[in-house]
Amino acid sequence: MARTAVSGGESGWHAALQRALQRALLSRAAKPVVWGLWLLPLAWLVWGVLADSLGANPAEALIRGTGDWALRALWLALAVTPLRQWLRLNALARLRRLLGLFAFFYAVLHLACYAWLDQGWVWGDIVADVLERPFILVGMLTFVLLLVLALTSPRVVLRWMGGVRWQRVHRIVYGAGLLALLHFYWMRTGKNDTAEVAVYGGLLAVLLGWRMWARRKPAAR
pTM listed for this prediction: 0.90
| CA 208 from centre of chain | 14
Cβ within 8 Å of residue 210, ≥6 positions away:
82
Taking only the tens place, the pLDDT of each residue in 112-124 is: 999 999 999 999 9
Q: How far is the C-alpha of 27 from the C-alpha of 117, rounded, in Å?
A: 40
Q: How many CA atoms are closer than 13 Å to the CA of 3, on its beta-carbon side?
A: 0
Poorest-pLDDT segment among 3-12, 112-121, 154-163, 174-183: 3-12
Indicate if the pLDDT at residue 221 is higher than 50.
no
Q: How confident is the model at residue 213, as a pLDDT?
A: 86
Residue percentage of the chain with pLDDT more than 70: 93
Q: How far is the C-alpha of 217 from the C-alpha of 140, rounded, in Å?
A: 35
Q: What 8-state DSSP symbol labels residue 100?
A: H
| CA 141 from centre of chain | 16
Indicate if the pLDDT at residue 158 is higher than 80.
yes
Indicate if the pLDDT at residue 90 is higher than 80.
yes
Indicate if the pLDDT at residue 216 is higher than 80.
no
> Quick one: pLDDT band at residue 42, thresholds 50, 70, 90?
very high
Q: How confident is the model at residue 123, as a pLDDT?
A: 95
